Amino acid sequence: IHNPSEPSAVLIACNAFLENTGAAVGGMLVGDALVDVHNNAFNANGGERGGLYATAAARGLFANNTLVSNSSIGGGAAGIESAADALDVVGNIIAHQLGGWGAVRSTTAAAWTYNLLWDNAAGDWSGTAGLPPPSAGNVALVPDFVAFTLVGGFDDDLSLTATSPQRNLGSPDPLLV
């Protein structure tokens, strides 16, 4: 996504990015753009980065997305990598990446809050910015999906079960529901 002159956010919501492969990124590349990316599934994508890569010029919000089973060639970010100072990453599930890190963050300016990271091949967190502070509300819990397998994403149901302890662990901000 590259849209530097548009003052309104590019809305990307309620989509499934499944089993895509690319050189730079398999799922989504956000360049110089204002975005609102929420309630999407990134499942079984692969490339130098698997699920999402946000360049330094990206800005906006990446919230309430689920990233699973993505892979990174060379062990980089399989889930999400962000070099953006102005792209907040809030309330996402980043779990079971098959090759690479769950999250790679290169700046401390953007908010990384209320995310769930679990069982990512190279580890959950990496990058020059280090871990977000404990007060950020990020957790390490097994996501309780309705139906999930590590191989293939077309038959997965990445909704949390009705009795999942992860329900309502996200941001307390009512605008991010």
Question: pLDDT category, 130, cuts 50, 70, 90?
Answer: confident
Beta strand segments in 85-155, E = 86-90, 93-95, 101-105, 112-113, 116-118, 123-126, 145-147
Residues 58-83: what's their mean pLDDT? Answer: 93
Residue 175 has pLDDT above 80, yes or no: no
Question: pLDDT category, 50, cuts 50, 70, 90?
Answer: very high
* Token digits of residue 86: 């102005």
Helical (H) or strand (E) element with 68: strand 66-68
Alpha carbons 2 and 25: distance in angstroms, whole number: 14
Residue 177 has pLDDT above 70, yes or no: no
Torsion angle of the four alpha carbons 142, 143, 149, 151, in this order, in degrees rounded to the nearest 10:
-80
Single pTM value for the model: 0.94
The pLDDT, as a whole number, for residue 2 is 77
